[in-house]
A and B are shown apart, each in its own frame.
Chain A
Amino acid sequence: MKLTLNNVEIFASTGGRDFNPSSGPVVLFVHGSGQSHLGFMLQHRFFANRGFQCITPDMPGHGLSKGEALTTVEAMADWYAQFMQALGIPKAILVGHSMGGLIELELASRCPDLITKAAFISTALAIPVNDALINLAATKESAAIAAMMDWGHGTAGHIHDHTMPGTSHMLYGSRLMAGNAPGTLHKDLVACNAYANGPTAAQSVTCPTLTVVCGQDRMTPRKTGLALQAALGGELVEIAQSGHMSITEHPFDVNKALRAFF
């Protein structure tokens, strides 16, 4: 679906089903740096066909949405609150991946009444980004994307063994990220790096939580995921064989964990 928010045309995937927030529990998927709704391709379709009202917006500058990327995690959290208001979503289950987890933390601390449950996938209390990658995103975005695809995937991704027959994780991911508005990745990485309110925000999260931690994650390593889970409490699921891009590398395991949590 398309809508206009803050005078910007926004695209949101509904998992191939009509979206009606009053006809079932709403699941709002929050994508990460340089990503879009397509990263959750194997989640939002799955849950949209199981009685959930799924909605996965592309933030401004990402995917099929117009406009320029937001520059802070705090602004992104406010944007998601506005998005929910614009679509008449009173409450939602949130599922955030990577930087989406930081946005989710911030949103949960600012607007706890909007969230019924929160799932944090391959994320942390903070996601520091090294200067070299930030600079690369500014000067040679394609190289930054290639580096992130390399670091972001575990064994299955590097060997191009996708659950969707005939598809390559890393090459699909590269094209997905290259499809964003110019400069989007750099802004996301700067925002990610600057966000320092995670530990404080985590203390404000009162809803049930699930943290999914991956053994081959080199972007939000296992120990940082465990630290997030320790701060939040709640449920923990570990996927030993997955890299950071667990939502595409190990969708069966991620969906199984989410289904049990929902």
Chain B
Amino acid sequence: MADYKFDTLSLHAGQSPDARFGSRAVPIHQTTSYVFDSTEHAAALFNMEVGGHIYSRLTNPTVAVLEQRLAALDGGVAAIATASGMSALFVTVLALCSAGDHIVSSSQMYGANINLFEHTLKRYGIETSFVPPNDPTAIAEAIRPNTKMVFGEVIGNPGMDIMDVPAVAKITQAAGIPLVIDATFNTPWMVKPIELGANVVIHSLTKWMGGHGIALGGAVIDGGNFDWGQNDKFPMLTTPHFGYQGAILWEEFGPAALSVRIRTEGMMNVGPCMSPQNAFYILQGLETLGLRMEKHMSNTVAMLEFLVGHEQIAWVKHPSLPDHPDHDTAMRLMPKGQGSIIACGIKGGRDAGRAFIESVQLASHLANVGDAKTLVIHPGSTTHSHLTSEAMASAGLTDDLIRISVGLEDQKDIIDDFKQALRTAGKLTSTQAKGSGA
């Protein structure tokens, strides 16, 4: 017996082979509910005196394997799988914040996160201050007495700003509040935020963790490394819980108090549970996470070598490049690789970007990241096409921006595809230049 390593845990964690039938693969328990042995057994399950399952909105055996595997991979005491990454974030906020509370959040992150904090939570009396994720001083200055969490991404989406998690963790630790990190873009193969001092990790499992683009899912990983009893900021964990016979979760469950609260409130009363079928799909992806991430990283290096200095490319942004503003932080926190998202500018502006996107044949034009297949999108002609160039700029985007999610294809095939698409975009630029008399 040994303390199993990452690739072993990716394959085995959370599952003992099925005792009755010997199934080696994780069985899909496609059931809503579970037969009790007796009324005593039922009461014991409802009272959390014994482990087991009652109803699949709360727990499910297939989903539990995924949760335990995620906890093992990220170094958390427990995990809760949810229907999506957004619902994972929401149930975390629900467990930590109430009306009148305040959040400090990264200003450069996924748009739905921004909308949740800026608009939805505000309607329920929770305010958010947005600060640059790579400015620990600004984060410290934004914390108020009623701040209940600091939130950010290790690698920001879409700008790829890097949060110095250990530096921010020192700030949140001193302030007596948890650091919640969305680790979707890095996965635990690249970096484990809990080991760097974060207290809670959020994942969209839809991306690299699943890796196949066939199942939506999210997760909250409870680091179990925050002393909820150190102050009176978190009454949901340190005073009697309405949903659990008045138990004080911090006293009853200690390091797992937050995850118990999420399960007995967020999952129970809101209900964004993951289906067992999706848990099974994501487990298949996790089995090869280490192998896939290595290939994502090597393909990204090859793609960067191709793009940097290409005559049709105006600029390239990736944390591994020395001119990235957070390069040093990225290399320190993520020495195995700095992610497989590349942003670059196509010479010729919005029209050239559109021409490039319409010319790729192997890469897929869609609004997702972290698939095994290479994905591209041109925000100027899709997600942000309604914006003027000035409005795009204020959102940190440019007309010529192309976002690439580098996949697992043979390097030469992806690069050949980009070569021909850039040639097409280049011809358009050349024609435009002639038409304008330049």
> Quick check: is B72 within 8 A (CB to CB) of the other chain?
yes
> Quick check: is B51 within 8 A (CB to CB) of the other chain?
yes
Stretch of A167-175, A183-191, A198-206, A232-240 at the chain-chain interface: A167-175
Q: Within 8 Å CB of B44, what residues of A?
A: 46, 49
In contact, B254 and A36 (Cβ under 8 angstroms) = yes
> Quick check: is B146 within 8 A (CB to CB) of the other chain?
no
A38 to B257, CA, bound (A): 11
> Quick check: is B256 within 8 A (CB to CB) of the other chain?
yes
Question: A46, A64, A167 — which one has the most chain B CB atoms within 10 A of its CB?
Answer: A167
In contact, A168 and B16 (Cβ under 8 angstroms) = no
In contact, B14 and A38 (Cβ under 8 angstroms) = no
In contact, B72 and A166 (Cβ under 8 angstroms) = no
In contact, A166 and B79 (Cβ under 8 angstroms) = yes
Q: Within 8 Å CB of A164, what residues of B?
A: 48, 51
Q: Within 8 Å CB of B255, what residues of A?
A: 38, 172, 175-176, 179
A161 to B2, CA, bound (A): 15
**Closest beta carbon of chain B to A52's beta carbon, Å:** 12
Q: Within 8 Å CB of A166, what residues of B?
A: 59, 64, 67-68, 71, 78-81, 259, 263
A117 to B43, CA, bound (A): 27
> Quick check: is B12 within 8 A (CB to CB) of the other chain?
yes
Q: Within 8 Å CB of A216, what residues of B?
A: 1
In contact, B16 and A159 (Cβ under 8 angstroms) = yes
In contact, A160 and B52 (Cβ under 8 angstroms) = no
Q: Given A155-B1, A179-B255: A172 and B50 within 8 A (CB)?
A: no
**Closest beta carbon of chain A to B169's beta carbon, Å:** 15
A179 to B2, CA, bound (A): 24
**Closest beta carbon of chain A to B229's beta carbon, Å:** 7
> Quick check: is A66 within 8 A (CB to CB) of the other chain?
no
**Closest beta carbon of chain A to B115's beta carbon, Å:** 28
**Closest beta carbon of chain B to A25's beta carbon, Å:** 18
Within 8 A of A (CB), among B99-127: none
> Quick check: is B316 within 8 A (CB to CB) of the other chain?
no
**Number of residues in A with C-beta < 8 Å to the partner?**
40
Q: Given A155-B16, A171-B77, A179-B255: A45 and B224 within 8 A (CB)?
A: no
> Quick check: is B276 within 8 A (CB to CB) of the other chain?
no
Q: Within 8 Å CB of A13, what residues of B?
A: 251-252
Interface size class for chain B? 35 or more
Q: Given A38-B254, A172-B77, A176-B255: A167 and B52 within 8 A (CB)?
A: no
Residue interface mask A28-54, B partner, CB < 8 A = 1: 000000001010011001100100000
A175 to B61, CA, bound (A): 25
Q: Which residue of B lies closest to A146 (CB)?
A: B3
A176 to B78, CA, bound (A): 13
Q: Within 8 Å CB of B251, what residues of A?
A: 11, 13, 64
Q: Within 8 Å CB of B397, what residues of A?
A: none
Within 8 A of A (CB), among B302-324: none
A166 to B432, CA, bound (A): 58
Q: Within 8 Å CB of B53, what residues of A?
A: 165
**Closest beta carbon of chain A to B253's beta carbon, Å:** 7
**Closest beta carbon of chain A to B178's beta carbon, Å:** 14
In contact, B13 and A49 (Cβ under 8 angstroms) = no
B3, B16, B67: the one contacting A165 at CB < 8 Å is: B67
Q: Within 8 Å CB of B252, what residues of A?
A: 13, 16, 41, 45
Q: Within 8 Å CB of A49, what residues of B?
A: 43-44, 47, 49
A160 to B221, CA, bound (A): 14
Q: Which residue of A lies closest to B253 (CB)?
A: A41
> Quick check: is A224 within 8 A (CB to CB) of the other chain?
no
A42 to B251, CA, bound (A): 14
Q: Given A161-B15, A216-B1: A167 and B59 within 8 A (CB)?
A: no
> Quick check: is A110 within 8 A (CB to CB) of the other chain?
no
> Quick check: is B175 within 8 A (CB to CB) of the other chain?
no
Q: Given A16-B245, A42-B51, A172-B77: A160 and B14 within 8 A (CB)?
A: yes
B9, B47, B69, B75: the one contacting A45 at CB < 8 Å is: B47
A sample of 8 cross-chain residue pairs with beta-carbon separation below 8 angstroms, ordered by A number, consists of A38-B253, A46-B44, A156-B16, A159-B16, A161-B68, A165-B67, A167-B68, A171-B71
Give me the interface of B with A, judged by CB distance under 8 Å. Answer: 1-4, 9, 12-16, 43-44, 47-53, 59-61, 63-65, 67-69, 71-72, 75-81, 223-225, 227, 229, 245, 247, 251-256, 259, 263
- Given A155-B1, A166-B259, 4 more A-B residue pairs with CB atoms under 8 Å apart are A16-B252, A159-B16, A171-B75, A176-B255
